[in-house]
């Protein structure tokens, strides 16, 4: 608890430092951190933004349930998606839009921007909600607080960091969290597999039989249904685009994605192995707490366990802050400024942005009470955003024939099919993305070919950005 308190106090101190008026005085300061982040901080913020509750809690839960091989396939959506980001990183930096819907408007028009902003706010509110829930789990492991009470504490911390210094405070706390969690996982892995389980061979032999298979007992379609949400989300994640836009240069944006790719394995692989190792040591715990329980139940040295828990909580806090900051940006730039035409000075824009953060944070907390597990809410939020937004965004860079009506139709179909499939309780035990993604892609292609328009090509987009 001492380690946790010191760590969180440090994060709050960083937030206070970057909350100074001198550090944050314009919208660019708040959203793009003045575009002067050093490369190590860029890599750290990309990693920590992406690897939050969805990996530490949701990924560990998947590993605990289905085994290490299946979970590595599940988490592979991250590095595969980063490879795609590498090839568009320069163009993303060149566009430098405040939001992804703003990028969509340049190609497809205002209607697409408004629909995309509504979908983004909906999905990002869900993602913030499961950061609250995941953080509550961590606090409940090492404090007398219940997961619900812990979620309130985490919600307050996440909201404070987002309101304070914007991306500047979030990026630097991201960097600190990334260092701690990567080092903590690297030390914990040999201690658990070697010291507690007697080596990799003994660990493997002790796993239940279905968990030693490549599929973990899932069908190929079910595995694909878990892989695709992560993959689709990262391809159009507004946080990724904003961070690439915050790079000093286009070359720096691309180099940062290389560092992001390499460091992602330092988190996802240990989480898969540690989460599945927890089945052997603690066969009756809640899957959501697999990695957390290893750190909190005496299987690791006190200092290491404390740092691992603190790092995991910090990852969740910074990820939540990032999505909260980003989602509030949609309210400011897509709704208040673009849709309603409200002209704001720099001071007014910062004030509205901060008020939007408070509003989304409150809604996210309430939403988190309706989903029993982090993994369930994670897949739901990832799917809606990834399926609805990624196809028209990628078409900007790779398919010039995509049209306004193709984009609108595909986003509407993606949202309706995803929500309907989830409300039907996933018939045939298939995640909704297996149904909604094909429907979305077919709609985008068919409607675009039937309704061609003369919207800007990729070269036109680059010129508009410059």
- Tell me the three-class secondary structure of the chain, residue by residue: CHHHHHHHHHHHHHHHHHCCCCCCCCHHHHHHHHHCCCHHHHHHHHHHHHCCHHHHHHHHHHHHHHCHHHHHHHHCHHHHHHHHHHHHHHHHHHHCCCCHHHHHHHHHCHHHHHHHHHHHHHHHHHHHHHHHHHHHHHHHHHCCCCHHHHHHHHHHHHHHHHHHHCHHHHHHHHHHHHHHHHHHHHHHHHHHHHHHCCCHHHHHHHCCHHHHCCCCCCCHHHHHHHHHHHHHHHHHCHHHHHHHHCCCCHHHHHHHHHHHHHHHHHHHHHHHHHHHHHHHHCCCCCHHHHHHHHHHCCCCCHHHHHHHHHHHHHHHHHHHHHHHHHHHHHHHHHHHHHHCCCCCCHHHHHHHHHHHHHHHHHHHHHHHCCCCCHHHHHHHHHHHHHHHHHHHHHHHHHCCCCCHHHHHHHHHHHHHHHHHHHHCCCHHHCCCHHHHHHHHHHHHHHHHHHCCCCCCCHHHHHHHHC
* pLDDT on residue 241: 84
Measured CA to CA, the distance from residue 321 to residue 354 in angstroms comes to 12
Count of positions (residues) in the chain: 466
Q: How far apart are CA 132 and CA 121, in angstroms?
A: 16
pTM of model > 0.85: no
Q: Can you give the pLDDT at residue 462?
A: 45
Q: Is the pLDDT of residue 405 over 80?
A: yes
Residue tagged 């839960």 (tokens): 61
Which pLDDT value is given to residue 460? 47
Cα gap 431→435, rounded to integer Å: 8
CA 103 to chain centre: 20
Contacts of 318 by beta carbon, 8 Å cutoff, 6+ apart: 45, 48, 49, 52, 161, 170, 173, 174, 177
Label residue 379 by pLDDT band (50, 70, 90). low
**pLDDT over threshold 60, residue 446:** yes
In this structure, of 139-143, 206-210, 300-304, 411-415, the range with the lowest mean pLDDT score is: 139-143
- Compute CA distances 236 → 10, 176, 243, 361, 392, whole Å: 32, 25, 12, 22, 9
Compute the half-sphere exposure of residue 100: CA atoms within 13 Å on the CB side of its CA.
31
Q: What is the pLDDT of residues 156-192, one digit of tens each?
A: 888 887 886 566 767 777 788 788 888 888 888 999 9
Q: What is the pLDDT of residue 160?
A: 83
Asked whether the beta carbons of 418 and 383 are under 8 A apart, the reply is yes
Question: Can you give the pLDDT at residue 458?
Answer: 46
Mean pLDDT of 109-126: 89
For the ranges 44-58, 409-423, 433-447, which has the lowest average pLDDT?
44-58
Locate 30 and state its tokens: 């708040």
Q: Which of 79-83, 144-148, 418-422 has the highest mean pLDDT?
A: 79-83
pLDDT of residue 30: 63
Q: Which residue has the higher pLDDT, 350 or 388?
A: 388
Distance, CA of 103 to CA of 90 (rounded, Å): 14
More confident residue, 272 or 458: 272
Distance CA 413, CA 176 (A): 40
pLDDT number for residue 238: 83
CA–CA gap between residue 298 and residue 256 (Å, rounded)? 37
83-92, 158-167, 221-230, 240-249: which has the minimum mean pLDDT?
158-167
Residue 35: pLDDT over 60:
yes
To the nearest whole percent, how much of the chain has pLDDT over 70? 88
Q: What does the alpha-carbon distance between residue 191 and residue 23 come to, in Å, rounded to a whole number? A: 42
Domains of the chain, by residue range, sit at: 2-384
Residue with tokens 């396939």: 73
d(CA 327, CA 117): 9
Please say if the pLDDT value at position 370 is more than 80: no
pLDDT of residue 67: 92
281 or 122, which is more confident: 281
With CA atoms as reference, report the closest residue to 356 among 327, 380, 397, 379. Answer: 327
Which two three-digit tokens encode residue 244?
């690439």
Q: Specify the higher pLDDT residue, 154 or 384.
A: 154
Find out whether 357 and 167 touch, Cβ atoms under 8 Å: no
Which comes out higher in pLDDT, residue 440 or 323?
440
Cβ-based neighbour number of residue 330 at 10 Å: 28
How far apart, in Å, are the Cα atoms of 46 and each of 255, 272, 324, 453? 12, 20, 15, 35
**Cα→Cα distances 27→97, 159, 267, 352, 354, Å:** 12, 18, 32, 11, 11
pLDDT of residue 63 exceeding 60, the answer is yes
Tokens of 369: 């009470």
- 284-327 pLDDT tens trace: 888 877 887 887 777 888 888 888 888 778 778 878 888 888 88
Residue 465's pLDDT band (cuts 50, 70, 90): very low
Distance, CA of 432 to CA of 26 (rounded, Å)? 40
For residue 145, name the pLDDT band (cuts at 50, 70, 90).
confident
Average pLDDT along the chain: 83
Taking the chain, what is the end-to-end CA distance rounded to the nearest angstrom? Answer: 50
pLDDT at 314: 78
pLDDT at 439 over 90: yes
Residue with tokens 């809606």: 384
Q: Which two tokens stand for residue 421?
A: 């499939």
CB 254 within 8 A of CB 42: no
- Across residues 69-88, what is the average pLDDT? 88
Fold of 2-384: Sodium/glucose cotransporter (1.20.1730)
């Amino acid at each position: 608890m001492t380690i946790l308190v010191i760590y969180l106090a440090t994060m709050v101190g960083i937030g206070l430092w970057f909350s100074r008026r001198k550090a944050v005085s314009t919208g660019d300061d708040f959203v793009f951190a003045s575009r002067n982040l050093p490369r190590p901080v860029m890599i750290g913020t990309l990693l920590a933004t992406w690897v939050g509750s969805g990996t530490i809690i949701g990924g560990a839960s998947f590993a605990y349930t289905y085994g290490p091989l299946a979970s590595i396939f599940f988490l592979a959506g991250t590095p595969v998606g980063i490879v795609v980001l590498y090839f568009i990183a320069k163009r993303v930096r060149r566009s430098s839009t405040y939001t992804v819907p703003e990028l969509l408007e340049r190609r497809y028009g205002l209607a697409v921007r408004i629909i995309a902003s509504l979908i983004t706010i909906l999905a990002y509110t869900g993602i913030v909600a499961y950061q609250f829930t995941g953080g509550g789990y961590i606090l409940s492991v090492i404090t007398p607080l219940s997961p619900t009470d812990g979620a309130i504490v985490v919600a307050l911390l996440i909201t404070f960091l987002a309101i304070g210094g914007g991306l500047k405070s979030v990026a630097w706390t991201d960097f600190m969290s990334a260092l701690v969690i990567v080092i903590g996982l690297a030390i914990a892995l040999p201690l658990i597999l070697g010291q507690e389980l007697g080596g990799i061979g003994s660990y493997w032999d002790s796993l239940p039989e279905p968990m030693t298979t490549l599929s973990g007992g899932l069908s190929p379609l079910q595995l694909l249904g878990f892989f695709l949400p992560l993959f689709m989300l990262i391809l159009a994640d507004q946080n990724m685009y904003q961070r690439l836009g915050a790079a000093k240069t286009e070359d720096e944006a691309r180099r940062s994605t290389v560092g992001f790719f390499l460091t992602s394995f330092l988190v996802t692989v240990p989480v898969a192995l540690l989460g599945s190792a927890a089945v052997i040591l603690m066969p009756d715990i809640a899957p959501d707490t697999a990695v957390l329980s290893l750190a909190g139940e005496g299987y690791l040295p006190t200092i290491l366990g404390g740092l691992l828990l603190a790092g995991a909580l910090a990852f969740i806090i910074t990820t939540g802050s990032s999505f909260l900051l980003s989602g509030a940006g949609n309210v400011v730039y897509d709704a208040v400024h673009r849709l309603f035409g409200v002209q704001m000075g720099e001071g007014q824009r910062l004030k509205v942005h901060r008020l939007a953060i408070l509003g989304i944070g409150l809604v996210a907390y309430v939403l988190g009470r309706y989903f029993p597990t982090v993994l369930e809410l994670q897949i739901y939020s990832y799917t809606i955003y990834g399926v609805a937004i990624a196809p028209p965004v990628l078409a900007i860079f790779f398919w010039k024939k995509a049209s306004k009506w193709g984009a609108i139709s595909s986003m509407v179909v993606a949202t309706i099919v995803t929500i309907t499939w989830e409300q039907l309780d996933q018939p045939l035990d298939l995640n909704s993305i297996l149904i909604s993604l094909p429907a979305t892609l077919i709609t985008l292609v068919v409607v675009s070919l039937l309704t061609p328009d003369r919207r800007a090509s990729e070269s036109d987009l680059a010129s508009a950005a410059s």
